[in-house]
Structures are given as structure tokens and as C-alpha cells.
Structure 1
Amino acid sequence: MIGAPPSTGRAGWRIPRRAGFWLVGGTLLAFMAASSTPSPLYVVYQQRWHFSAAVLTAVFAVYVLALLIALLTVGGISDHVGRRPVLATALLAEAAAMVVFMAADGVGLLLLARILQGLATGAAAGAISAAVVDLQPGPRQGALTNSVAPTVGLAVGALGAGLLLQYAPAPTTLPFALLAVVFVILAAAVAFLPETVSRRPGALSSLRPRASVPPQARRAFLTAVPCLVATWAMGGLYLSLGGSVTASVLHVSNHLVGGLVVTTLTGAGAVASVVVRDMDPRRVMTAGSASLAIGTALTMTAIALESAPLFFVGTAVAGSGFGAAFLGAFRSLAQLAEPAERAELFASIYVVSYLAFSVPAVLAGLAVPSAGLHDTATAYGALVLVLALLAVVAGAVARRPRQDAADGPAKAQHAPAETGRTPEAVRDPEAVRTP
């Protein structure tokens, strides 16, 4: 049974459920902070080991692809073996990845560290998202935590790494040493987490990747694809080449600024997610895509003028669009799926999102040697701008057929009552978002 405590015959002492909720939320934040910690360090690695921008983006992309593979295979295994063992294993694997980062003396170990980190994060993602919902003190705290903690974690990781890189000794090892300690402590604490799932058969069959879109959601899914690709492609650019752009194009040598670029994007996304969480998801997706387009245009102008202040303004606007547009797209799709269809729909969403997160960044890295970082970043921004505008148009067109229905008793927001589902049941998909 999921969402209720199983038999406690051999359970031993457990922390209260509310404390468990915050422990799992903190674990999610720590995983996301670790994922963005290398971003400000890429410039240093590149200067130290003399590798190309293509290699740099490959180092970034292998993390995303490893995460996606783990998410699609072991992402649901905690429903069968329990949340605690999956979380403990993933946390120890993440700690091991931090040790590999500390020992890295070339691209080979850097790639290994990122692959191990991606596998650990992907394995933990499903268990974390489910445990947050299982343990939430109130009906909406799980959704809010799963929406905000990833972007806050990304912001904290990039900012912390930038600070240590600029002002602390051993800047390429100290961040990972601190994170390794954090993950070991969290792994120990998870042993006292209340278990919300009883063991049940089917663990091996759950490893088979499943991704599909139910018929009733296919039109909306196609409408959301430009939004998903635009938002995550922008995120991929910042987390892979953001530090290089600030150093080489904007001529800012302070490493803290490289971390602040990622922090500004993800921090603005976190704030926007909180602000728009109760609004109509289709409106949020369209408005967020418009904000992303405006922010991208500002950053492209900043690159042309080599203006760091304007670049940060554009990044903040684009970041707010990033957070709002993705949340709106996710919620608008989630409410169209029946409970038994959600897992495969979510997998489809994340396949599109994570491929957009990694593939364009790798292509940009391949283009840098011939086109230069300035022109590559400009072309990348133009692609995101076109996709964001396409998402705005698609969202506006998709809303028109719904207008007549919106004036009658069959409003879209009343769909749960028509299908026998409660509003809370529809909100549950928002709460099981995966980072």
C-alpha cells in the first residue's frame, strides 16, 4: 500500500512524519545543488586540462542522459522495495560521485563522476517525489516542494560553487568534499525515515522503460512540446556554457559571477513557480513562454552589446518564464491523464525535456570551434526565441476551441467531477513531479 505506513513489526525508532517530509525535501535540494555545482567550475577545468567546448558540453550532457536512463528504469522501483533503501543507495552513490570529482585529474574521471551523479540522481528522483507526497503535512505542500526545491537547489549549488571558486582554497575539491559529507549524513538519516510503502512483487518488471501519451492528451502534448524544448534548451545553455559566456563574451573574470548567472536563471524560475502555482495552467504556459521569449531577446541584445548588467536582467526575465512555462505545461498535461496513465505520460514529458536539456548544448559545443562562442550563443538564443514564440502561438490557438466550453458547465477545470475524480486527485500529479 502506498501513502500509508506498512507493518512496523521490525521498524524500530522513526522520526516523525513531518520531520521526514523536511528530510526528504532537503535531500531533493541537496541533489539539485550538487547537479549545478560543477557549472561554474567548467571554465577552470577547461583552462586546466585544455579541452574544447564540445568536450565541455559532453561532460554536461552525459549527466543528463545518465539521469534520464536511471529515471526511466529504476525511477519507480521504490513503489516495490520501499523508499528508504532506494534513497539510501542513491545517496551513497552520490557521495561516491563527489569523491570522484575530488580525485578528477582529467576529462576521463570528470565524465565518470558526471555519469555516476546522473545515475544516482535519476534513481533517487522517483523515490523522492513519491516520498514528499507520502509524508506531506498538508494537501499542497508536496506539490510546492517538488516544484520549488529543484530550482532553489540549482541556484544554491551554482552560487555556492561560485563563491568557493572565487574566495576559498582548493576550489575544485572543497565544494565536493562538503557535499560528500552532506550526502553521507543524509544517507544515515534516511535509515530513520518513516517507510510509507510495503514491499510488493513486480520490482523487476518495473525496470522496463515505459513512456507514452494517452490519446486524450496527445493534442495538448504536441502543443506543449515547443514550450518544453524552449525552456529546457535555455537551461542547458546556462548550465553548460553560461560560465564561458560570462568570461569570454561579457569579459567578466570573477568566478562568482559565473555562478550568479545560473543562480539568477533558476532563482527567478523558483519565484515564478510559487507566484503562478494557483493560476490556470494553460494561461501560465503561454505567459511563461512569452516571458522566456522576451528574456531571451534581452540576453541576445546583451551579448551583442557585451553588457553584463543587461545580460543579468534578461536572464532574470527568461528564468521567470522558464519556471512558469514548464510548470504550466506540466500541470496542463497532468490533469488530462487518468491515474494509471500518469507515470508513462510523465516519462514522455521528461524524455522530451531532458533531451532538450542536453542535445542542443552538445551541438552548441561542437559549433564553438568554427563559429566562435559569441555567434554560437547568439544562434542558440535565436533558436530558443523562435521556439518560445511558437509556444506562445500554439498556446493561444489551443485555447480558442475551449472558449465556448469555458462559458458553460463543462469548464476544463470541472473535468475531475465529470470523470469521477476529485480536484485533489488531479493535483496529485503536480506533487509527484520529478526533478
Structure 2
Amino acid sequence: MPPKPAFAGLALVFAAFFFAAGAPTPLLSLRQQEWGFSAGTLSFAFSVYALALLAALLVAGSLSDHLGRRPVMLLALYGELISMVMFLAAPTITWVILARALQGIATGLATGAFNAAIQEQAPGSLKKLAGNLAGASVAGGLGLGALVTGAAVQFTADANTLIFAILAGAMVLGIIFVSFTSETAVTRPGAVRSLTPRLSIPGKIRREFAAGLPLHIAGWMFPALFLGLSPALLRVHFALDGGLVAGFTAFLGPFSAAVASLVLGRYPARHSSLAGVSFILLGILAVLFGINATWLPAVWVGAVLGGIGFGGSFGGQIRLIAPHIQPHQRAGVFASIYAAAYLAFSVPVIIAGQLAPVWGLVPTLLAYGVTLAAFAAAGVVIQAALLKSESTPKPAPARSPVTANSRPD
């Protein structure tokens, strides 16, 4: 297959993984009403995906460097297909949790292989677009998955069967498509050794990595709030049971992040990081106001602002670090970044799910939001200080008197 259609098609297949990851958001809330499991179980069913994805990234993030892109992409697609079938036939929440975990493993396998393949298949004029397109596929897929599934819950009799049957068919088409793409990696030995989890932060980037941690934590806690906890908030606090409103609420942030990652990618990385974390702070303040005032439009505005911030800040941080990483360090560094990201995406939601029955849903979500705002505020201060230090002209070295007064003979 020529590179151009392969490049576009791989980006589309990669987006399908995250469409499938966003799809359970409205369905988990529906299942909770039907099967009667607890809020803690609901939050775990959401978060186990991120934990499994993180584990797969740590263990197999560089596997395609050894086995080739195409075999790992196909392995990920087969795993995703099996998880779709499990969702389709799940009789209990235990089956849903197992399907969600397998989905996370498959997506973790896909992340490294598809990112690399999309970059390598991109024509020369589209190389810069490739990285932004892969990032937009992640966020956009999550948002569209939640929105379309929410509409299916609202307007069809059996949304679970409809959505996961379509997604299973999409994975079959993805398997066929990837089978006809060319291999872009040179295979090399050491596949088994590469399965040892590696986290590495070279000395050159440690300061930047540490400075970006509050930004990553706030940024990834934000979409987790909407994808993992907003359906319960809408049902309990706003008395809204419709699947469409749940899907739309979960859609706004990731979709805004997808657009922002393409737009803000044109600006300097530090400016993008600072603007992004500032938008996250504004977004969570709007969300907290909306929850406190029981005014849903404020929550929606906050979702858009926070989504823009997430897209700009995460992309900015990657661009700040990437130029300073040697090729042999890449897997370990990105594993470290995504370890922080997915822990922030999953662990706070699990904690919130356990606290909600004790504290009440709204107090728990307010505490979640205040914690997120504190990390975002710290990120604003740190990024502003770094921008100021980088913008301040450094004094030129002083000339010695001998040099200053010397004259040619």
C-alpha cells in the first residue's frame, strides 16, 4: 500500500481504539442502573482500563522496535476485537471489568506501534502533522465514542449490542487494512529483554520533567472527571438520566483537546504549556461553580476550557522534552511520562469512587475539583517562572581590560 493512504488509514484505525475507549462512559452508568453495583465498582470499571493500558505500555511499549510495527498492531487489534465481543456478551459487571482490562492492554500495545507507524508512513511534507494527528486521534476518539454511544443509549433499544457490534466490525476491518500495509521498522533481536519495564529520566530533562508533573496531573485528572464521574453527577445532582446528555458532557472536553492540540501545536512549546495549564485552571473553576450552583451550562463551558488546556499543555510538554531525548532513551522517557499521566487518570477516580458513598457524591467531586485546581495553579506558577527565566536576556560576558584596551600593532 502506498504511504499516503497507509498514513491516513492507520490514523483512522488508531482513533477507533479510543472511540472504543470512550464508548463505555454512558453505558457504564446505564449498567449501574440495571445491575445495581456500587459507585466504587463503577469507578474501578472505568479506571481499570487506564491501569491495564499503563501496564502494557511499561512492559511492551518498545516491542514493535523488535518485532516490527505490523505484527504488534495486529496483536493489538485482535485483543481489541476480543474485548469488544466480551462487552457485547457481558452478563455481569465482572465481565465488563475483564473486557475493560483487556481493552486497556490492547490499547497500550497499539499506542507505541501505531504512533511509530503513523510517523514512519507519513510523507515528508506531513511529518510534523503526524505527531499532532496521532494526539488528536486519541482525544477526538474518546470524545466521539462517548457522544455517539450516548446518542445510542438515548435513541435505541439496545445500545450495548449496537455499539459493540459495530466496533467489533470496525476492528475486523482494521485487521484487514493493517495486513496490507508495509512494514516500516527494521526488526532486531532483544524482544524478550525489552519486556522488562523501564522508566528513565535522563539528567538533561529531569528539571523539565519535574516542572511538568503538576501540569500532567491536573491535565489528566480533568478528562477522567468527565469520562469517569460525570454520568453519576448528571444523574444524582442534575436529575438527568438521558444517554445523550451524558455522552455530550463527556464529549466536550476530549473533542476540545483534539482541536487544541492541532491549533496550539503551531505556537512555542513553553507558551503552549502555560496557556494550556491556565485554561485547565479556568475550566475546573467553571466546573466547580456549575456544580455548586447546579447550573449545567457552566459545567459545559468548563469542560471546553479544560479540554483546550489539556490539549495545549500536554502537547507543549512533549515538545519541550522530545528534542533532548536520544533514540535509545525514548521508550523509557515516554513510559515515565505516561506512567504519571495514566496514574493521574485512574487513581484519583478510584479514590473518588470509594469516598462517594461515605462523603456523598457532590462533596467528593468538589474535593476532587479543588485538588485538581491546586495542581493546575502550581503548574501555572512553575511554567510562568520558567517562561520568564527563558525570556530574560542573559548578560554578555564581561570583556577584560586588556582585551578592551588592546590595539592592533
Global fold match (TM > 0.5): yes
Kindly tell me: are residues 349 and 406 of structure 1, through their superposed partners in 2, closer, same or farther at Cα, counting changes over 3 Å? Answer: farther
Matching residue's letter, 1:337: I
| Farther off after superposition, 394-403 or 231-240 | 394-403
1:171-250 equivalence runs, <5 A: 171-250=159-238
Determine what percentage of the aligned residue pairs are the same residue. Answer: 37
CA-CA distance at 1:254 after TM superposition: 1.7
SS of the residue 1:140 aligns to: helix
Matching residue's letter, 1:278: R
Matching residue's letter, 2:231: G
CA-CA distance at 1:247 after TM superposition: 1.8
Number of matched pairs: 395
SS of the residue 1:212 aligns to: coil
Matching residue's letter, 1:195: E
Matching residue's letter, 1:41: L
Aligned to 1:318: 306
SS of the residue 2:267 aligns to: coil
CA contact (8 A) 2:270 2:317 kept: yes
Matching residue's letter, 1:228: H
User: How many Å separate the matches in 1 of 2:2 and 2:117?
Assistant: 14
User: How many Å separate the matches in 1 of 2:177 and 2:248?
Assistant: 31
User: How many Å separate the matches in 1 of 2:327 and 2:88?
Assistant: 43
- Structure 1: 5+ residue stretches without partners: 1-14, 409-435
User: How many Å separate the matches in 1 of 2:268 and 2:85?
Assistant: 44
- Structure 2: 5+ residue stretches without partners: 397-409
User: How many Å separate the matches in 1 of 2:395 and 2:134?
Assistant: 33
Matching residue's letter, 1:363: I
Kindly tell me: are residues 224 and 127 of structure 1, through their superposed partners in 2, closer, same or farther at Cα, counting changes over 3 Å? Answer: same
CA contact (8 A) 2:61 2:109 kept: yes
Aligned to 1:107: 93
User: How many Å separate the matches in 1 of 2:109 and 2:133?
Assistant: 19
1:23-38 equivalence runs, <5 A: 23-38=9-24
Matching residue's letter, 1:287: A
CA-CA distance at 1:139 after TM superposition: 2.4
Aligned to 2:31: 45
User: How many Å separate the matches in 1 of 2:26 and 2:340?
Assistant: 26
User: How many Å separate the matches in 2 of 1:398 and 1:198?
Assistant: 40
Query: CA-to-partner distance for each residue in 1:376-421, whole Å, 9 max, x for gaps?
Result: 111111111111000000111223332345798xxxxxxxxxxxxx
Matching residue's letter, 2:332: E
Matching residue's letter, 1:31: F
Aligned to 1:338: 326
1:8-157 equivalence runs, <5 A: 15-137=1-123, 138-157=126-145
Matching residue's letter, 1:19: P
1:239-318 equivalence runs, <5 A: 239-318=227-306
CA contact (8 A) 2:61 2:331 kept: no
Residues 1:403 and 2:397 aligned together: no
| The structure with more radius of gyration | 2
Computed over aligned residues only, the root mean square deviation of the Cα atoms, in angstroms, reads 1.5
SS of the residue 2:160 aligns to: coil
Query: CA-to-partner distance for each residue in 1:143-201, whole Å, 9 max, x for gaps?
Result: 12112111111111011100111101211221111100100111112111111123321
User: How many Å separate the matches in 2 of 1:261 and 1:291?
Assistant: 18
SS of the residue 2:198 aligns to: coil
Kindly tell me: are residues 300 and 191 of structure 1, through their superposed partners in 2, closer, same or farther at Cα, counting changes over 3 Å? Answer: same
CA contact (8 A) 2:272 2:316 kept: yes
SS of the residue 1:195 aligns to: coil
Matching residue's letter, 2:157: P
Matching residue's letter, 1:211: L
SS of the residue 1:276 aligns to: helix
- Which of the two has greater helix per residue? 2
CA-CA distance at 1:141 after TM superposition: 2.4
CA-CA distance at 1:253 after TM superposition: 2.3
1:364 pairs with one of 323, 346, 352: 352
CA-CA distance at 1:261 after TM superposition: 1.1
CA-CA distance at 1:283 after TM superposition: 1.5
User: How many Å separate the matches in 2 of 1:253 and 1:61?
Assistant: 22
Matching residue's letter, 1:52: S
Kindly tell me: are residues 276 and 406 of structure 1, through their superposed partners in 2, closer, same or farther at Cα, counting changes over 3 Å? Answer: farther
Query: CA-to-partner distance for each residue in 1:307-343, whole Å, 9 max, x for gaps?
Result: 1111111111111111111111221122232333222
CA-CA distance at 1:279 after TM superposition: 1.1
Matching residue's letter, 1:177: A
Give the TM-score taking structure 1 as reference length. Answer: 0.88
Aligned to 1:11: none
User: How many Å separate the matches in 2 of 1:269 and 1:385?
Assistant: 18
Matching residue's letter, 2:134: N
User: How many Å separate the matches in 2 of 1:172 and 1:78?
Assistant: 33
CA contact (8 A) 2:42 2:353 kept: yes
Query: CA-to-partner distance for each residue in 1:73-117, whole Å, 9 max, x for gaps?
Result: 112111111111111121111011011001111121011101110
SS of the residue 2:127 aligns to: coil
Query: CA-to-partner distance for each residue in 1:28-83, whole Å, 9 max, x for gaps?
Result: 10001000100111111111111111111111111111111111111211111111
Matching residue's letter, 1:329: Q
User: How many Å separate the matches in 1 of 2:350 and 2:290?
Assistant: 23
CA contact (8 A) 2:43 2:353 kept: yes
SS of the residue 1:240 aligns to: helix
CA contact (8 A) 2:133 2:262 kept: no
